[in-house]
Amino acid sequence: MPSWFTKVFKGGAGAAKPREAKPSLDEIMGGIDTSEDPEPVAPVQVEKKRRIINAPVVEFVGESAEPAADVRIKARIDSNSGSCVMLIDRPVLEGHSAWFSNAKSAAESPLAQALFAIDGVVSVLLHGYTITVTRHPAMHGDWTELAREIGNTVRAHMIEEKPVVTDAFLEGLPSQDAIEQKLQRVIEIEINPSIAAHSGAIALDRVEGNTVYIQMMGGCQGCAASDVTLRQGIYEAFRSAVPQIGAILDNTDHSAGKNPFYTQMPAGMR
């Protein structure tokens, strides 16, 4: 069965019509009597801008619902990044976020230390109502057992009301302004020049506490590889410049991307 690509670019049966063919200027002018008009103006066809409607999702076959526990924790597996997001029914860390790449870096977080004690846990991100745990890449298959162990550890920690991070951790965080300045420099000098070849660019949207929000633009907006760019490029560059930053969140509306992979830099970004 031919794909849409074959149809669009090779003109198969039922070939796609990206847009109606516009008449040439000669065709347009051929139908206009210009004998009495010294400066005729050719009409210009402008394609109507279209809106995208989102219908309410009535049913998603594949979702599951199970009963709650005392401290309600749900685990959501992100197979793309090899991580598990624990959704807690209460805030884990308010006003800030915390990211730990190994047990040594988690010295100021009793909760993260407890999670690193579980075999296979390689990184921990505490943010809002969530805890994101990444497991060792060599661990494949079902997350269920590891997720339950993580859930039990988090639940026990919360029931016993142990601190999530120490006061020293919070006192050691740089100011928002300092974070913004350093990241802005990384974006301008390191990141944007490297993704300009793909007509992409990123901008620092805002910093809240030590949580960073970014916007992806141009070829990055809507690009299938944007998640990889984020995880492998931007995360590393940001954390290398400011090790104390917590969550890095992509605020981009990727469904509104106009030209992912497009080779020409959009106006205003040159």
Partner 1 sequence: MPKLNTFDVTIKTGERGPGAAPKWSINGFVVDFEQMKGSTAPGETFQGTASPGSFPHTLLIRGPESGAWDIEETRVTYYPSGEQPYTVRLGAVTLDDDADLNIWYERPQKVFDV
Q: Letter for the amino acid at 74?
A: K
CB 16 within 8 A of CB 8: yes
Q: Tell me the per-residue interface mask from 211 to 240 with partner 1, x by CB under 8 A, - otherwise.
A: -----------xxx--x-------------
How many CB atoms sit inside 10 A of residue 72's CB? 13
Two tokens, residue 236: 């590393």
φ/ψ of residue 148, rounded to 5: -65, -40
Based on the shown chain and the rule CB under 8 A, indicate whether residue 104 belongs to the binding site for partner 1. Answer: no
In whole angstroms, the minimum distance from the beta carbon of 223 to partner 1 comes to 8
Contact between 171 and partner 1 by CB under 8 A: the answer reads no
Among 239, 254, 265, 266, binds partner 1 (CB under 8 A): 254
Site for partner 1 in 40-99 (CB under 8 A): 48-64, 66-69, 72-79, 86-87
For the CB of residue 198, give the shortest distance to partner 1 in the complex, in Å. 14
Count of Cβ atoms closer than 10 Å to residue 183 Cβ:
22
DSSP at 231: I
User: Which one-letter DSSP state was computed for residue 95?
Assistant: E
Choices 95-103, 143-151, 168-176, 244-252; region in contact with partner 1 by CB under 8 A: 143-151
Closest to 111 in 3D by CA, of 145, 153, 168, 83: 153
Query: CB of 230: closest distance to partner 1 in angstroms?
Result: 13
Smaller CB separation from partner 1, 149 or 205: 149
Shortest Cβ 178–partner 1 spacing (Å) = 35
